[in-house]
């Protein structure tokens, strides 16, 4: 494998010195880019992009052709695991993800099989190998998965949900079935992420998009406990280098101390928490990734720069900050505004690092 030409992202995750603060954007390959929309229509649909390693590689690299990003993220989706478990993922235009089958009873949970990464999710592993080879050491490649709790919400609801009615009912009425589901998902996520690491992912992120919807008590038992189990089962060193793990619980700001105790190297933060306050709460335990409100990108470049400057100042001098959005970039954003954001991070962060 070629030498990494830009390792700022991996260094910042390990809280090592960097020249400027590294930056990438959640959902950086996506519908705000005209070249993405074009590739998707050529592929027919979204899963047609994910399942073809050359196409997945092409869209992974699109944002890197436009912007000086410090990391690439695998183009795929968190719902590949439930799909491989036999639930039948499909996307209805404008409706978000749906499953043909959903998980309703303890017998449904009992029948679920833990997918084998190479056998059942080989298209993802092949995409990772293709992207690593095409990147040729430009920047590191991030692999990812959903958290068990977040995946369970889609599996029990049969798709996206506003109130998680069925999932919450299962959690409180049939906690043993919910624990069995989460346990199977934790095993699946562990081997899926280890498969991605063996295939070439140089850091991995767990997206716990819906963890913040739980009570403090339920978050510990039904989300964090399973992420902790995953972290303890991951390959942490590959090809002579540490493979950092990032946990992102959206709306998890109240529980940062316990998330920082999970064994992860870094925490992803949404924009509801102040960066400096988060840093003083976690101390030197973990690096922090975040946390600009993605809707700031609707404003003009001058306002975007001001917000970037404010967050950099709030984190302050020293190591351990990866700049990112607090959630995914939205389809309505002007690509030039995304460019202004990335440029601002690199330009304005130099004063916080030693030359």
Residues marked as catalytic: 27, 31, 40, 77, 154
Query: Would you give the end-to-end CA distance of the chain in angstroms?
Result: 29
- Cα 323 → chain centroid: 14
Beta strands 203-208; 245-249: pairing state: parallel
Residues lying near ligand CP3 in the complex (CB under 6 A) = 26-31, 40, 46, 73, 75, 77-79, 96-97, 144, 160, 207, 209, 328
- Where is the binding site, in residues? 27-31, 77, 154, 209, 327
The token duo for 301 is 């470049």
Are 329 and 297 in contact by the 8 Å Cβ rule? The answer is yes
Residue 86, Ramachandran bin (φ over 0: left; ψ between -120 and 50: alpha; else beta): left
CB of 333 to ligand CP3, least distance (A): 13
Q: Considering the complex, state which of residue 29 and residue 103 has its C-beta at the smaller distance from ligand CP3.
A: 29
Cα–Cα nearest to 337, from 308, 298, 281, 310: 298
Distance between CA 355 and CA 350 in Å, rounded?
8
Report the DSSP beta bridge partners of residue 205.
144, 246
CB of 78 to ligand CP3, least distance (A): 4
CB of 94 to ligand CP3, least distance (A): 9
- Where is the binding site for substrate, in residues? 27-31, 77, 154, 209, 327
Burial 107-122 (b: 16+ CB within 10 A, else e): ebbeebebbebeebbb
DSSP assignment of 211-224, as one string?
GGGS-HHHIIIIII
CB of 129 to ligand CP3, least distance (A): 17
CB count within 10 Å of CB 1 equals: 11
260-265, long-range: CB < 8 A, 24+ apart: 260/285, 260/286, 261/285, 262/224, 262/227, 262/228, 262/231, 263/228, 263/231, 263/232, 264/206, 264/227, 264/231, 265/13, 265/14
CB of 76 to ligand CP3, least distance (A): 6
Q: Considering the complex, state which of residue 92 and residue 173 has its C-beta at the smaller distance from ligand CP3.
A: 92
Residue 158 dihedral angles phi and psi, to the nearest 5°: 85, 15
Q: Considering the complex, state which of residue 88 and residue 175 has its C-beta at the smaller distance from ligand CP3.
A: 88
CB of 24 to ligand CP3, least distance (A): 9
CB of 355 to ligand CP3, least distance (A): 32
C-alpha triplet 203, 37, 324: angle, nearest 5°: 35
Q: Considering the complex, state which of residue 59 and residue 348 has its C-beta at the smaller distance from ligand CP3.
A: 59
Residue 208 dihedral angles phi and psi, to the nearest 5°: -105, 70
Q: Considering the complex, state which of residue 160 and residue 232 has its C-beta at the smaller distance from ligand CP3.
A: 160
Q: Considering the complex, state which of residue 15 and residue 67 has its C-beta at the smaller distance from ligand CP3.
A: 67
Beta strands 237-238; 241-242: pairing state: antiparallel
Q: Considering the complex, state which of residue 67 and residue 144 has its C-beta at the smaller distance from ligand CP3.
A: 144
């Amino acid at each position: 494998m070629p030498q990494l030409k830009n390792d700022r992202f991996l260094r910042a995750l390990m809280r090592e010195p960097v020249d400027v603060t590294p930056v990438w954007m959640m959902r950086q390959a996506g519908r705000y880019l005209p070249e993405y929309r074009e590739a998707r229509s050529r592929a027919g649909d979204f899963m047609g992009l994910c399942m073809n390693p050359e196409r997945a590689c092409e869209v992974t690299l699109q944002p890197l052709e436009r912007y000086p990003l410090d990391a690439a993220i695998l183009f795929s989706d968190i719902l590949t695991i439930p799909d491989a478990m036999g639930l039948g993922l499909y996307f209805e235009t404008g409706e978000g993800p749906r499953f043909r089958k959903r998980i309703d009873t303890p017998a449904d949970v009992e029948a679920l099989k833990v997918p084998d990464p190479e056998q059942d999710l080989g298209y993802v592993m092949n995409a990772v190998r293709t992207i690593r080879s095409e990147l040729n050491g430009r920047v590191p490649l991030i692999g990812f998965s959903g958290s068990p709790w977040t995946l369970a919400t889609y599996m029990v609801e049969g798709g996206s949900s506003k109130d998680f009615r069925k999932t919450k009912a299962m959690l409180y009425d049939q906690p043993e079935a919910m624990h069995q589901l989460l346990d199977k998902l934790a095993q699946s996520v562990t081997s899926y992420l280890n498969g991605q690491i063996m295939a070439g992912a140089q850091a991995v992120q767990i997206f716990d998009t819906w963890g913040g919807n739980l009570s403090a008590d339920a978050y510990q038992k039904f989300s964090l406990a399973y992420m902790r189990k995953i972290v303890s089962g991951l390959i942490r060193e590959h090809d002579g280098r540490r493979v950092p793990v990032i946990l992102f619980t959206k709306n998890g700001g109240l529980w940062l101390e316990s998330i920082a105790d999970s064994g992860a190297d870094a925490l992803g933060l949404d924009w509801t928490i102040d960066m400096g306050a988060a840093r003083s709460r976690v101390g030197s335990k973990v690096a922090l990734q975040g946390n600009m409100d993605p809707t700031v990108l609707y404003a003009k470049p001058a306002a975007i720069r001001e917000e970037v400057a404010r967050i950099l100042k709030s984190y302050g001098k020293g190591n351990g900050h990866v700049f990112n959005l607090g959630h995914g970039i939205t389809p309505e954003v002007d690509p030039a505004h995304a460019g202004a954001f990335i440029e601002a991070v690199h330009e304005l962060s130099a004063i916080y690092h030693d030359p």
